[in-house]
């Protein structure tokens, strides 16, 4: 299992390096990727933030009960 994970990590590094290196050699510079990445990053951040907001009340209730349990 660990070998598979390491192999996938190395493959991911290779793909990331290739993705960075290939546009550097392009004849025409296309700036659309520079705009698309922040938009995608913002979308992912918004989804994660909404997940955190949805989980927060349940976590707060659990934490209060845990702390209250220490004083019983």
Domain count of the chain? 1
Q: Once rounded to an integer, what is the mean pLDDT over residues 8-32?
A: 60
Predicted structure pTM score: 0.40
Show the domain range for 33: 2-70
User: What is the C-alpha to C-alpha distance for residues 12 and 15, in angstroms, rounded to an integer?
Assistant: 5
**pLDDT, tens digit (0-9, with 9 covering 90-100), for 28-66:** 777 676 676 777 778 888 899 999 999 999 999 999 999
CB of 23 closer than 8 Å to CB of 33: yes
Structure tokens at 66: 């845990």
Residue 6 has pLDDT above 70, yes or no: no
Q: What is the DSSP string of 8-46?
A: HHHHHHHHHHHHHHHHHT-SS--THHHHHHHHHHHHHHH
More reliable by pLDDT, 12 or 37: 37
Residue 26 has pLDDT above 70, yes or no: no
């Amino acid at each position: 299992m660990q070998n598979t994970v390491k192999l996938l990590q190395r493959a991911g590094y290779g793909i990331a390096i290739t993705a960075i290196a290939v546009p550097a050699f392009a004849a025409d510079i296309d700036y659309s990727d520079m705009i698309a990445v922040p938009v995608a990053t913002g979308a992912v951040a918004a989804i994660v933030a909404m997940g955190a907001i949805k989980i927060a009340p349940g976590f707060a209730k659990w934490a209060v009960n845990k702390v209250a349990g220490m004083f019983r």
